Amino acid sequence: MANIFNPDIQISMIDADVALLHDQIRKLHTQRNSFTRTCSIPQEVLAEIFSHCRCNVIMHVCKHWREVALSAPCLWSTVVFHHGPSPLSPWTDLKLERSKHSPLDLEVHVEEALDKVVRRESVQVSVEETLVKALRQLPHIRNLRITCLHSVMPFLLQHLTGPAPKLEALHVCRKGREQSGGNEDFISDAFLAETTPLLRALSLEHCMIHLNSPIWSNVETLNLAYVPEGLMNTTQELLSLLRNMPALHILKLVEALPRVTSASSWFTKRGQDVVSLPRLKKLVITDILTAYGHFMPYLDIPPTARVKLHMEDASDETFEYPRKAALLPESILAASPQVGSISPSHTLKIEGEYWGASRWCIQLCCEHADCQAACFKSSSRYSTYAHPDHEGLRTEAHFNLNLAGFSLLANTFRMISLRDVHTLKLWIPKTIDGPSPWRDIFKSTSRVRRLILSAIGVMSVYDVIRDLDPEGPDLPDDCPLPDLSELHLELHVRHYNSRNLPSGTKVISLLQRALTARADLGVVLPKLVLDGDATVMFKEQQETLSGLVQEVVWRGK
């Protein structure tokens, strides 16, 4: 009877009842969950969901999830072999076992010598044996990425000589030794010499496969980066390679072009030597100007292909480019082809900046006029860039020019040929020495409807505003940009004070003169937008400007 009133016994009895209730609640939850839609998801769908998660976490959620994870080989198909300062992953062998010969994505990173034994879970493991075990899966490998030391490359290649019927993408990067350009830098002909019928993407960095290898034939995406000197001696060798790849969709060349010592052949016609790539969708080249100018004329690419260029002018001031040479072939800055009855509309952006050398960016977008605003994405206070992933971005070219290369820029402006430009954006870093190039641009883009003129400082825009004046000196009688319906003037200065007044007064005078002359010809500007901290100088002239423009919008601070 005394036990009934014993507190410890009472607590124990209650704890037992609580445990029983918890067990019953757990069973009820399990029973309830069995009727939910998530528990009726097919295993193949659940496995696809798991492929976006960490397997070692998924397997500890519940028994059902663990069974699904273990029975889905695709969850174990990504194997990373990393031999370096960090220890070997204990998952390598386990993933190879659980993949059950499903298509593998294998990444091999070797940053140290292979002739060593490491300790894993109190067991000595040979690095070579583990790597060879992974490479023996070659018949089942779908994507293969190899990054290794130069001294390790022969060991890897001798285990990659068999057939690879499932291989779709291959990336090889050699590190370590300076490139000598000797034959030892070529990847052996025996490398994947059997058969690679599904190989579509090939990427090589600091190395090169022999040009007569059968591995090139069906490639659709090719990336050649930092090809050692001596492995691609002439432009004809590269052209011969591309000529045998008619299905190429994406071509990326990073410091892979053969070097030339003369610019005499800059953008000259090549006749029968031209290589046609009718299926090319994207072209990316990063190199020096002389090599690019010698190679580019050999390519015949579709007008719809996206082009991205990064060029460095390595010439000195004494170097002479051909008199009519330009930075881009005429076809790249020509009007896009008409689709059905719809004529394409373009957004052209030209931006320059000076940091010792002259750096210029030319961007061309092609789309419907009502979508132009979506094309550009603000990247800073003063600059606007076309988003690199925007579907309409057709050309993006960056050039770092020395004094010798500036003539190339002026010639490029003269050969722009666009039927319809919705927006022309000019970013001017400072006053340009020599003849003004802006009138040439206005001639080539005569149907511009919106002109955005941006600059840091006031003097930079003198020439542009003067070239908008139909009565300017040494100009023809026709009115520049007759279809212009909107002018954005965006001026910034670091410190606006009395020292800026003379140059500011001159800009106001030039603008008033240009607007008056255009109005006298019946070409009245519908809208003028004044933006930037430097446009405070226009505030007192807002009433005068309103008499010359239908609408004035002032956004100055």
Write the pLDDT tens digit of every residue in 467-499: 888 876 555 557 888 889 999 888 877 555 555
Question: Is a pLDDT exceeding 50 seen at residue 376?
Answer: no
Total Cβ atoms within 10 A of residue 377: 12
Binned at pLDDT 50, 70 and 90, residue 316 comes out as low
Q: pLDDT tens-digit profile of 179-236?
A: 444 445 667 666 776 678 899 999 999 988 888 888 888 899 999 999 887 777 788 8
Distance of CA 439 to the CA centre of its chain: 32
Which of 13-27, 314-328, 442-456, 515-529 has the lowest average pLDDT? 314-328
The least confident of 291-295, 406-410, 539-543 is 539-543
103 vs 437, higher pLDDT: 103
Least confident of 18-27, 350-359, 538-547: 350-359
DSSP secondary structure, 133-167, as one string:
HHHTTGGGEEEEEEEEETTTHHHHHTT--S--TT-
How far, in Å, CA of 107 to CA of 125, rounded?
Answer: 19
Q: Summarize the confidence of residues 271-288 as an average pLDDT.
A: 90
> What average pLDDT score do residues 297-325 get?
83
Q: How many angstroms separate the CA atoms of 487 and 530, rounded?
A: 9
- Provide the residue range defining the domain that includes 56: 40-76
In a domain, 46, yes or no: yes
pLDDT at 39 over 90: no
Predicted pLDDT at 462 = 80
Where does 158-300 have alpha helices with state H? Answer: 235-243, 289-295
Instruction: Name the pLDDT band for 557 (thresholds 50, 70, 90).
Output: low
pLDDT at position 194 = 64
Give the alpha-carbon dihedral of 504, 510, 511, 516, to 10 degrees.
150
Which band of pLDDT confidence, cut at 50, 70 and 90, is reported for residue 4?
Answer: low
Mean per-residue pLDDT, 72-86:
71
- Please, which pLDDT band fits residue 116 given cuts at 50, 70 and 90? low
Write down the pLDDT at residue 228: 83
* 368 found inside a domain: no
* pLDDT value, residue 384: 44
439 is a domain residue: no
Instruction: Report whether 485 contacts 450 (CB < 8 A).
Output: yes
198 burial via Cβ count (<10 Å: 0-12, 13-18, 19+):
middle
**Exposed e or buried b for every residue in 143-152, given b needs 16+ CB within 10 A?**
bbbbbbbbeb
Q: Is 433 exposed, middle or buried (0-12, 13-18, 19+ CB in 10 A)?
A: exposed
CA separation, residue 338 to residues 145, 280, 305, 334, 343 (Å) = 41, 19, 15, 12, 5
What pLDDT is attached to residue 482? 85
Q: What is the pTM of this model?
A: 0.80
Is 33 within the bounds of a domain?
no
User: Residue 286: pLDDT band by 50, 70, 90 thresholds?
Assistant: very high
pLDDT of residue 179: 47
Q: What is the DSSP letter of 334?
A: B
* pLDDT level of residue 403 (50, 70, 90 thresholds): confident
Check whether 502 has a pLDDT greater than 80: no
* Number of folded domains that form the chain: 1
In a domain, 13, yes or no: no
- Label residue 159 left, alpha or beta by phi (over 0 means left) and psi (-120 to 50 means alpha): alpha
pLDDT for 446 beyond 60: yes
HEC assignment per residue over 351-419: EEEEECEEEEEEEEEEECHHHHHHHEEECCCCCEEECCCCCCEEEEEEEEECHHHHHHHHHHHHCCECC
Q: How many CB atoms lie within 10 A of CB 339?
A: 9
Percent of the chain residues past pLDDT 70, beyond the cut: 73
Reduced to 3 states (helix: H, G, I; strand: E, B; else coil), residue 257 is coil
Residues in the chain: 557
Smallest CA-to-CA distance from 421 within 452, 392, 451, 448 is with 448
Q: How far apart, in whole angstroms, are the C-alpha atoms of residue 101 and residue 73?
A: 8
Report whether pLDDT(532) > 70. yes
pLDDT reported for residue 487: 92
In terms of pLDDT, which residue wins out, 46 or 280?
A: 280
Residue 63 lies in a domain: yes
More confident residue, 281 or 381: 281
**Longest alpha-carbon distance in the chain:** 120
Average pLDDT across the chain, whole number? 77
Contact 168, 145 (CB under 8 A): no
pLDDT of residue 356: 46
Residue predicted with more confidence, 41 or 344: 41
**Cα 59 from Cα 65, distance rounded (Å):** 6
The lowest-confidence range among 33-42, 221-230, 421-430, 514-523 is: 33-42
d(CA 411, CA 516) in angstroms, rounded, equals 31
- Range among 47-61, 108-122, 222-236 with highest mean pLDDT value: 222-236
Q: Is the pLDDT of residue 342 over 50?
A: yes
Query: Which of 312, 347, 547, 371 has the alpha carbon at shortest distance from 447?
Result: 347
Lowest mean pLDDT among 82-86, 323-327, 511-515: 82-86
The yes-or-no verdict on residue 456 having pLDDT over 90 is: no
Q: Is residue 366 part of a domain?
A: no
Tell me whether residue 49 is in a domain.
yes
| SS3 at position 258 | coil
For the ranges 189-198, 368-377, 467-476, 523-532, which has the lowest average pLDDT? 368-377
Amino acid sitting at position 393: L
